[in-house]
Amino acid sequence: MQTLYPFKFSPIFKEKIWGGQKIRQQLKMDIGLLPNCGEAWLLSGVEGNPTLVTNGYLTSNELNELVEVFMGDLVGDKVYERFGDQFPILVKVIDSNDWLSIQVHPDDELAKKRGSGYGKTEMWYVMQADENAELICGFNQEVDELVYMSYLENKKLREIMNFEQVEKGNVFFIPAGRVHALGPGTLIAEIQQTSDTTYRIYDWDRVDDQGNSRELHTEEALEAIDYTLHSHYKTPYRLVENSAETLVQSPFFTTNILKLTAALHKDYSALDSFVILFCTEGSCRVDWEDQSYELTAGEVLLLPNVIEEVNLIPDPESVLLEVYIE
């Protein structure tokens, strides 16, 4: 079997009613003729939406095909035992040019009960935000199902939602069950479980060109919602140059942030997992053995589990998200 190596992938672009043009304008991606590109799926093992390798002898192979063939060598033995042939993380860029629906995702237990694969815990890292951009994350007061339904039925749901002003670098962890919505003017890096299950709660009463409103999932959402009130929803973190600082540590993924201003050696030999390097700002070179891989904002590089060491060289500065499963 030939040696595994760092993989680059071709993105999948998604037209959305709330999408815009930032993925083309700011990340210089070729989104084709899409007028409202809402998402770029950078790394996906979602059934029917696989990303394809674009470099090396495995060019044109689907992500899950790699997992099936290389198993623990690619994803790590423990990860393969847990998730099998499906790659367990979906990585996206989201351009919200308008409000996304207020929505919620199921956890693993509920998703399994409903035959929809895995649940969906996710996180957002704000790559760019327009002035006064905001999003919804969680509730702003104590509510229960009866209170929630009363506000929903009277079209006053926004009154009990927690609105957050956002700026570049903000982080939000969104476990399954937390009600949320992205607002206009944000470009988001999203790390999530491999799942495309969303329960749409409220869609701002909008309709498409034919006058049709999008499907809502009121009943499905009821069993999924976590009504817990939290004192804060934005994730605090330190940003230390040339050091991996943890943003999210969960059973589903760990995400660190790296602000690079100088070359950095990374040793992953103690980690039984793949590593995703997601460039969110600037550009960076990843050196492995005698090979080099360029990363610019909006690109990911997948390091198989068997790769133990790489060198990261920013040009001249770069911000990376480093993602793996512990």
The pair phi, psi for residue 222, each rounded to 5°, is -55, -45
pLDDT attached to residue 209: 77
pLDDT attached to residue 22: 98
pLDDT attached to residue 116: 86
- Mean pLDDT computed over every residue of the chain: 96
pLDDT attached to residue 203: 94
Tokens of 296: 């610019």
Do 283 and 297 meet the contact criterion of CB atoms below 8 Å apart?
yes
Tokens of 167: 């700026």
pLDDT tens by residue, 95-131? 999 999 999 999 999 999 999 889 999 999 999 999 9
Strands 291-296 and 309-324: unpaired
pLDDT tens by residue, 77-97? 999 999 999 999 999 999 999
The average pLDDT across 173-187 equals 98
pLDDT tens by residue, 50-77? 999 999 999 999 999 999 999 999 999 9
CATH code reported for the domain at 9-224: 2.60.120.10
Q: Which fold has domain 245-324?
A: Jelly Rolls (2.60.120)
Name the active-site residue from 178, 200, 206, 285: 200
When pLDDT is cut at 50, 70 and 90, the band that residue 2 belongs to is low
Torsion angle defined by CA atoms of residues 100, 13, 173 and 152, in that order, rounded to the nearest 10 degrees:
20
pTM here is: 0.96
| Interatomic CA distance for residues 72 and 80, integer angstroms | 6
Q: How many CB atoms lie within 10 A of CB 316?
A: 10
Of 201, 213, 220, 119, nearest to 161 by C-alpha is 201
- Judge whether residue 1 has pLDDT over 70: no
Q: Same CATH fold, 245-324 and 9-224? A: yes
Q: Is 285 a catalytic residue?
A: no
pLDDT attached to residue 241: 97
Torsion angle defined by CA atoms of residues 25, 298, 44 and 6, in that order, rounded to the nearest 10 degrees:
140
Q: How far apart are the first and last CA of the chain?
A: 27
pLDDT attached to residue 211: 82
Q: How many CB atoms lie within 10 A of CB 116?
A: 15
Tokens of 198: 């969303």
Q: Please state the domain extents for the chain.
A: 9-224, 245-324
Q: How many CA atoms lie within 13 A of 15 on its CB side?
A: 5
pLDDT tens by residue, 227-267? 999 999 999 999 999 999 999 999 999 999 999 999 999 99
For a pLDDT cut of 90, what percent of the chain falls above it?
95
When pLDDT is cut at 50, 70 and 90, the band that residue 212 belongs to is confident
